[in-house]
Amino acid sequence: MGYAGILLVIARITSRKSRETEGNEHFYVAGKSAPWYAVAFGMLGASLSGVTFISVPGWVATQGFTYMQMVLGYLVGYGFIMAVLLPLYYRLGLTSIYGYFEERFGPKAYLTGAGFFILSRTIGASFRLFLVALVLKMFVLEPLGWDFTGGYALSILAILGVIWAYTRHGGLGTIVWTDTLQTAAMMIAVIASAVAIAHALDWTGWEMIENVRESSMSNWWVWNDWKAPNHFVKHFLAGAFVATAMTGMDQDMMQKNLACRNLREARLNMASFSAVLVFVNILFLGLGVLLYTWADAQGLTIARADSLYPSVALGGTLGWGLGLVFLIGLLASAFSSADSAMTALTTSICVDVLKTERRSPQSAIRMRKRVHIGVALALFIVIMLFSKVNDTSVVSAIFTAANYTYGPLLGLFAFGLATNWKPRDRWIPAVALLSPVLCFGLESGMNTLWEFSFGFALLPVNGLISFLGLWAISKKG
């Protein structure tokens, strides 16, 4: 309650301008006046999310530090965003980045791009909140005997209600500052966990670093098995394309960059965010080694990777204080990804689908407020559907399937930037829908026949198929 109260106080202060002017620009892009350093730090929390906070430390048992191959690939993608995409978005003066599709291709391409974003971000944000709520249910509600009928649903409603309350006036103008707090809360939780384990094992700071470095789980590179989904070439290339598509072509992440005062500050934001993100991921993976070391020392049985961090932090072996810090970090990870997703979805629906900029200012504001509530309810419904499935492997598959939807976005942007050809607008939705289906068949077939997996590199393959599909329906313009 205290943490939620702090968020509401920040919202009250930062949304004053929005309440005074009752303008949508503050909600959508923070009045294009957000300081780049605050945006960069807040973006860390939004990019990490509850999935990273809970899952990444658990990966080291089977994957080691190989995830860093992908993180290094991110830097190439972020470089492309700074060099090509940000100048494009600022030159066109966009509020929604999918406005580029209307200018380049036509109205159906515009709606297709926005539709794929709305679908993928709804699924992605719902999954992230579902995972956090599941941890709260298993490790907090059930041990306290609060797992009564409807208790799980009420906890999700409470989280979404708090997010709606602190974003309803200020939108991105508020999120820039609340995400700064939430990123700090996550970092404090991770650092406190590492320090607590090192202290319990009677290690100095240097001894802690040396034990992580010498661990069998600290291997970064995979060179020998080209069929493996985490082979270096696949992971590195995938990282470059994932960063380009899921950051540079994602309204949620780019909306924050568009909130900066100018292109120069947006580039500073991306550059600093990129550098710090590498360090932060090393920190999370290093924590994973420490958590497994402590779990082994205590004889703890870890059923699955996602339960590693909460089992250790909330198990009581390191003190109740760490459990409290972990819970605050966990809530921060949920809020930081869901609040920006809720705002980005509201922006895309209003600007791209409903064309609220064509309405009077008062009508546009009323519509935006209704859509904002509708987005919160939609997220609640999808999360409850996930909970009904009651199988995290199935839900994870649904979440993974959502990644397929970025392939058509990658193909559309690549085709628009690399060619002067004009696809027939009416056929673009068909190409965008067919491409993920073909990718799924390709991945399944190659896995069955040759035990080969593209892994995360399936995203650029998806983009290439979309690109070729757009070429097939084009005429030179």
Each residue of 380-417: pLDDT tens digit? 999 888 877 755 544 455 556 666 888 999 999 999 99
* Residues 6+ away with beta carbon under 8 Å from 144: none
Q: Residue ranges of the alpha helices (H) in 64-171?
A: 67-80, 86-92, 99-104, 107-136, 151-167
Q: Identity (one letter) of the amino acid at 181? A: L
Q: Identity (one letter) of the amino acid at 70? A: M
Structure tokens given for 153: 């649903």
- What confidence tens digit (pLDDT) does each residue in 296-329 have? 888 877 777 777 888 888 887 888 888 888 888 8
Alpha-carbon span 269 to 265, nearest angstrom: 6
pLDDT at 23 over 90: no
Q: What is the CA radius of gyration of the chain?
A: 22
Alpha-carbon span 310 to 312, nearest angstrom: 6
Instruction: Let me know how long the chain is.
Output: 477
- Look at the alpha carbons of 449, 454, 459, 464 in this order and tell me if their dihedral is positive or negative: negative
Alpha-carbon span 266 to 251, nearest angstrom: 15
Task: Give the residue-averaged pLDDT of 180-184.
Answer: 90
**Residue ranges covered by each domain of the chain:** 2-392, 404-477
Q: Which CATH number, 3.30.420.40, 2.40.110.10, 3.40.50.1100, 1.20.1730.10, labels domain 2-392?
A: 1.20.1730.10
- What confidence tens digit (pLDDT) does each residue in 217-247 have? 888 887 887 766 667 888 898 889 889 988 9
Helical axes 172-200 vs 2-14, angle rounded to 10°: 150
- What confidence tens digit (pLDDT) does each residue in 73-132 have? 999 999 999 999 999 999 999 999 999 999 999 999 999 999 999 998 898 888 888 877
What's the pLDDT at 387? 79
Alpha-carbon span 105 to 112, nearest angstrom: 11
CA–CA distance from 391 to each of 109, 153, 388 (Å)?
35, 17, 8
Neighbouring C-beta atoms of residue 299, cutoff 10 Å: 6
